Copies of this chain bind each other. A is one copy, B any other.
């Protein structure tokens, strides 16, 4: 499929940063949570090299923060996920798979506890706020659920710490992966987390209101000039190398969190009756039929994966690929897919059927990045 234009209308929401993104000559967008999300500025490869060597500021306003507030907020949140987050320290972000009564993935979110009875759930691409609101109404819970007026900014790349330190001072150094803390900014303070949708060092800032958000954005660029800072965006190549899954691409409402590799985040032995409990208990006992795997695909650069590509061993389909790109670091194509137990072992040789024909490929348990680091033994 050739690249078409995107028609703009109010329904595809702009963000406080859209003008800045346009000034930086954004080439293409996707639509995420009814909002513009940039995908390419220079070229996919040029953006990739810059992200892996410098620092970028990303408009990730589309990571809408669903605010769940009130006496029943904790109870409601525990209903929607298999993960027991109640023992997590409040200065930690929590990855939260949201499941339906059949244990299928409804959302792939990150939870922050803002105050005792107030949480922000960073939503992936669907209107999970409608799901959470309606559950609360149906069960008559004392809680309010709304989309908060928060447009997150991501600061990603190896030089992100230098930039963040210039803006927020030395204490930012103490922020560990997935930590979230308040930091001073001008006359206010802001939530900052060490998170982001890349395999690089990175941070995310959560500011309330458009005006403050834009002031932060501009400050980041002023402070980052000497660091070769650029407007950037999540990069398809880099996120596949890093093994970061995308809801709607690599997993859908047809997959369980166990298939997605999140099974270690929750145990079957819980007394709390969350939505999906019995289905997930059964799957943990019997084992999943298929799981997320990472692939290297030989041959020339693969096209854009807009539909799942079947994966075969001889004539038997053993899964599909859902995201793929040529990786300069790997010197080959890298991919993410859902693979059945016949083929999910490390090093299994398979064939991937793309619109340009069959490619030889190999299945791995870990992503490209993890295979090339010391993390290889722990993944």
For window 183-234 of A, CB contacts with B under 8 Å fall at: none
For window 301-355 of A, CB contacts with B under 8 Å fall at: 304-308, 322-323
Query: Besides A11-B249, A131-B134, 12 other CB < 8 A contacts?
Result: A1-B8, A4-B5, A4-B27, A5-B27, A6-B6, A7-B29, A9-B30, A9-B246, A30-B31, A34-B248, A106-B130, A127-B131
> Which residue in chain B gives the minimum CB-CB distance to A126?
B127
Contact at B3–A5, with CB atoms within 8 Å?
yes
Q: Interface residues, chain A, CB within 8 Å of chain B?
A: 1-12, 14, 18, 22, 26-31, 34, 39-40, 100-101, 106, 125-128, 130-140, 246-249, 275, 304-308, 322-323
Report which of B9, B106, B126, B134 forms a contact with A138, defined as CB distance below 8 A: B134
| Set of chain B residues within 8 Å of A3, measured between Cβ atoms | 5-8
Contact at A28–B14, with CB atoms within 8 Å?
no
Known: A126-B34, A126-B130, A137-B101. A28 touches B10 (CB 8 A): no
Q: Report which residue of A31, A101, A130, A308 has the largest number of chain B beta carbons within 10 angstroms of its beta carbon.
A: A130
| Set of chain B residues within 8 Å of A137, measured between Cβ atoms | 101, 135, 138, 275
Contact at B125–A34, with CB atoms within 8 Å?
yes
> Which residue in chain B gives the minimum CB-CB distance to A247?
B11
> Which residue in chain B gives the minimum CB-CB distance to A28?
B5
Residue contacts A-B, CB under 8 angstroms, 25 given: A3-B8, A4-B5, A4-B26, A5-B28, A5-B40, A7-B29, A9-B30, A9-B246, A9-B249, A9-B305, A9-B323, A10-B248, A10-B307, A11-B246, A12-B306, A30-B31, A31-B31, A34-B125, A126-B130, A127-B127, A131-B134, A133-B134, A136-B138, A137-B138, A139-B139
CB distance from A211 to the nearest CB of B (A): 16
Q: How many copies are assembled?
A: 2
> Which residue in chain B gives the minimum CB-CB distance to A124?
B11
Contact at A8–B306, with CB atoms within 8 Å?
yes
Q: Report which residue of A100, A131, A248 has the largest number of chain B beta carbons within 10 angstroms of its beta carbon.
A: A131
Query: CA separation between A322 and B132, bound complex, in Å?
Result: 29
CB distance from A186 to the nearest CB of B (A): 27
| Set of chain B residues within 8 Å of A8, measured between Cβ atoms | 1, 3-4, 304, 306
> Which residue in chain B gives the minimum CB-CB distance to A125?
B11
| Set of chain B residues within 8 Å of A5, measured between Cβ atoms | 3-6, 27-29, 40
| Set of chain B residues within 8 Å of A11, measured between Cβ atoms | 30, 125, 246-249
| Set of chain B residues within 8 Å of A126, measured between Cβ atoms | 34, 127, 130
Q: Report which residue of A7, A28, A138, A307 has the largest number of chain B beta carbons within 10 angstroms of its beta carbon.
A: A7
Query: CA separation between A188 and B123, bound complex, in Å?
Result: 42
Contact at A30–B4, with CB atoms within 8 Å?
no
